[in-house]
Amino acid sequence: MIIKGLNCLGLMGSSTFGGVEIALVYTDGLDIMERKKSVTYPYPDDIKEKIRSIWGLKRDEGDNEKILQEVDLEVSEFYVKLINDFISECGETIDVIGIEGITLLHNPNIKYTYQLGNGRYIASKTKIKTITHFRNADIASGGQGTPISSIYFSSIASDEIKPIAYINISGKTSLTWIGSFGEMVGFDCGPGDNFINNWTSKHAHQDNDYNGRLGALGKVHEKIVNSLMHHKFFAKFPPKSAYTGIFSDKAEHLEGLSLEDGAATATAFVAEAICYSICLYLPELPQKVVICGKGANNPTLIRFIRQRLPSFDVVVSRDEGIPIDTINAEICAFLSARTVYSLPITFPSTTGVPFPMSGGEIYEKDI
């Protein structure tokens, strides 16, 4: 098989509602040869509310299938518009689209995962081969279904001094460790932006703690952080996945705090979970820790991580030439190339799947 570079467009519908990420990269699924263009589009308020209304619904219960399909189609129409606008602006020919829509429910304990994004519809409207649902094959085979990003980080780490760890902070947080000989370990290590955002949404009526401002003004209640860390998830050895809503019951520990103290304590919990996982569950401590994803935009969170890892070189991905706001779209683009070439995207050391597995559902443009 001849592997050649492809113009791959990745789209990530962030569960933090930080916007729809789109990135165009030239890749063969082995290396990122060129980053061409990336952008983040905001979600309209009406689509946000419709997505929130179906959060956590399971397809095979009651009338959920019909409800989910209706919203999925509307979101897919929105994705098509964004894709067409993006292509018009960049003027490039696209070989394949890779989509990871917003995750409504993910729980490997019941072998269930559901992400928005109707690949058949998007392929028919864009006339471009479209790949969706990268996690399904893995979770059906007994894997955790996440993280699916580890092979991407392994690729971009090829010239780095190792061991190195990449921390991808989005709705939840995942960790990828690359060893001195290219060994790869990946797992979800705890809560992410959503744990902070849920607090600010409830108590400040804002989608997130912009620039970590509220957290910077508040006091961290370390006893509460310690209590939050008693969650059974942290005692489980990898591979492991933070399923949808896994930490929601812990949010009640913050009630009674001021707005600022709650934001600071929630942010410290995210930082503590990251540092705990680095120190406890990796084969060897990393020489460098790279913070990626939208969580890297929160300077308070970065400061808390550095305070907890004083002897580590903790850097933000933009300083390494890696995008922050669109990295997950870039991951989708990279995975789409691997799917085209039937290369594995999940592994026993990342999701616990029995053997390296390809993934993704392919929809041809002429359906």
Which backbone phi and psi does 105 adopt, to 5 degrees?
-160, 130
Q: Is the pLDDT of residue 225 over 80?
A: yes
The per-residue pLDDT for range 119-134, each reduced to its tens digit, is 999 999 999 999 999 9
Cα–Cα distance measured from residue 245 to residue 238, given in angstroms and rounded to the nearest whole number: 19
Domain 6-145+326-363 in CATH 3.30.420.40: yes
42 burial (CB, 10 Å; 0-12 / 13-18 / 19+) is: exposed
CA dihedral 41, 44, 45, 50 (to 10 degrees): -110
249 burial (CB, 10 Å; 0-12 / 13-18 / 19+) is: exposed
The per-residue pLDDT for range 55-88, each reduced to its tens digit, is 999 988 889 999 999 999 999 999 999 999 999 9
112 - beta bridge partners?
A: 107
Intervals of CATH 3.30.420.40 along the chain: 6-145+326-363, 150-320
User: Taking residues 310-332, what's their average pLDDT?
Assistant: 96
Instruction: Tell which wins on pLDDT, 172 or 250.
Output: 172
Cα–Cα distance measured from residue 318 to residue 293, given in angstroms and rounded to the nearest whole number: 10
12 - beta bridge partners?
A: 21, 100
13 burial (CB, 10 Å; 0-12 / 13-18 / 19+) is: buried
Q: Is the pLDDT of residue 367 over 70?
A: no
Topology, domain 150-320: Nucleotidyltransferase; domain 5 (3.30.420)
**CA atoms 155, 327, 96, 141: torsion sign:** positive
Instruction: Decide if 344 contacts 150 (C-beta within 8 A).
Output: no
Which region among 112-121, 159-168, 358-367 has the lowest average model confidence (pLDDT)? 358-367
